[in-house]
Amino acid sequence: MSKSWLAVDWGTTNFRAWLMHDADVVSVINAPCGLLQVENGQFETALQTHIALWIAEYDALPLLMAGMVGSQQGWVNVPYCEGCIDAQQLAQGAHALHTRWGSQGWILPGVAGHSAVGLPEVMRGEEIQLVGLMALAPAENHHAILPGTHSKHATVAHQAIHDFSTFMTGELYQLLMAHSLLGRDLPPQQPDSRAFALGIQHSGLAAPLSQLLFSVRTLRLRGDVPLSGVGDYLSGLLIGQELRQCPSTPHWIIGSDALNARYQQAASQLGLVTEALSGERCFIAGMNQIRLYLQGIE
């Protein structure tokens, strides 16, 4: 494979591409153009538009893609890999294609597995970050938290993804603030570390989420949480419930700077030891690892 290549993270709401030289980032493109913005399955045209400048300058570079672009709603429905998965297996499960401008491309598979409580689980995109974690921090075992719309908690053992769980934390937050009684008639929200801490504290009460959520309403009615801090109280409840599921071993938190900081604050309140890593850095490191196994696959 040439020393220059492209890494693409193509999700439901965002498109992100990196021009790479070996393991180094040369340039990056961000576009709010996820799968939902692609009409009539015109993925190749959309991609060509997004990276037109790179095609003009570098011609046909090898292209690695991951995320929901490999799902039923994406470019190609690439079957999930199942079991304890590592970089090599992800490479072997990749769907190879050739673009009309002559690039050799691969769409990487997601991973299907089971959570610790035995429910089926799937992910597409986060597995790349986990492979990146294994490369960046070689150790026998890791616990990782990947916060987001659908937060993932994963156990990595012996350089492979073992079990993982999904928490719909981010989506619940958005839904409840935008469409429920809890978010109605609120002023612009402000960071409120007191409200956030109170939410984390209440997340430990012996009550299910559907009950705890009503306290967002009653504490607001009583003035115990200011109107501008309702969002942070709700965030504390949701992130608190999520993190209380973690075993008490050290955890990596792998996401954006803002989410990492929020999760680390919550983890610290719960006595959980964490170290933050950039989600972008892990993604790139993961793609670079997988690239090494793709050399012969066309």
Binding site for a copy of itself (CB under 8 A): 115, 117-122, 150, 165-169, 171-172, 175-176, 178-181, 202, 205-215, 217-219, 221-222, 224, 238, 241-242, 244-245
In the complex, least distance from residue 58 CB atom to a copy of itself, rounded to whole angstroms? 36
In angstroms, what is the minimal distance from the CB of 190 to a copy of itself?
A: 23
- Comparing CA positions, the residue from 133, 83, 87 lying closest to residue 250 is 133
Q: How far is the CB of 155 from a copy of itself (least distance, A)?
A: 15
Residue 63 or 238 having the CB closest to a copy of itself: 238
Residue whose structure tokens are 């965030």: 235
How far apart CA 228 and CA 251 sit, in angstroms, is 31
Q: Residue 56 or 117: which CB sits closer to a copy of itself?
A: 117
Tell me whether residue 97 or residue 168 sits nearer to a copy of itself (CB atom). 168
What is the C-alpha to C-alpha distance for residues 127 and 133, in angstroms, rounded to an integer? 10
Please, which residue, 149 or 159, has the CB nearer to a copy of itself? 149
**What does each C-alpha distance from 210 to 4, 159, 174, 207, 287 come to in angstroms?**
50, 38, 16, 8, 39
**Max intra-chain CA distance, the chain:** 65
Nearest to 46 by CA among 20, 8, 102: 8
- What whole-number distance in Å separates Cα of residue 46 and Cα of residue 17? 13
In the complex, what is the shortest distance from the CB of residue 215 to a copy of itself, in angstroms, rounded to a whole number? 4
d(CA 45, CA 186): 41
Q: How far is the CB of 272 from a copy of itself (least distance, A)?
A: 15
The distance of closest approach from Cβ of residue 53 to a copy of itself in the complex, given in angstroms and rounded to an integer, is 33
Of the two residues 162 and 281, which places its CB atom closer to a copy of itself in the complex? Answer: 162
Question: Which residue, 140 or 210, is less far from a copy of itself as judged by CB?
Answer: 210
Q: Are 84 and 161 in contact (CB under 8 A)?
A: yes
3-state SS track over 45-79 = HHHHHHCHHHHHHHCCCCEEEECHHHCCCCCCCCC
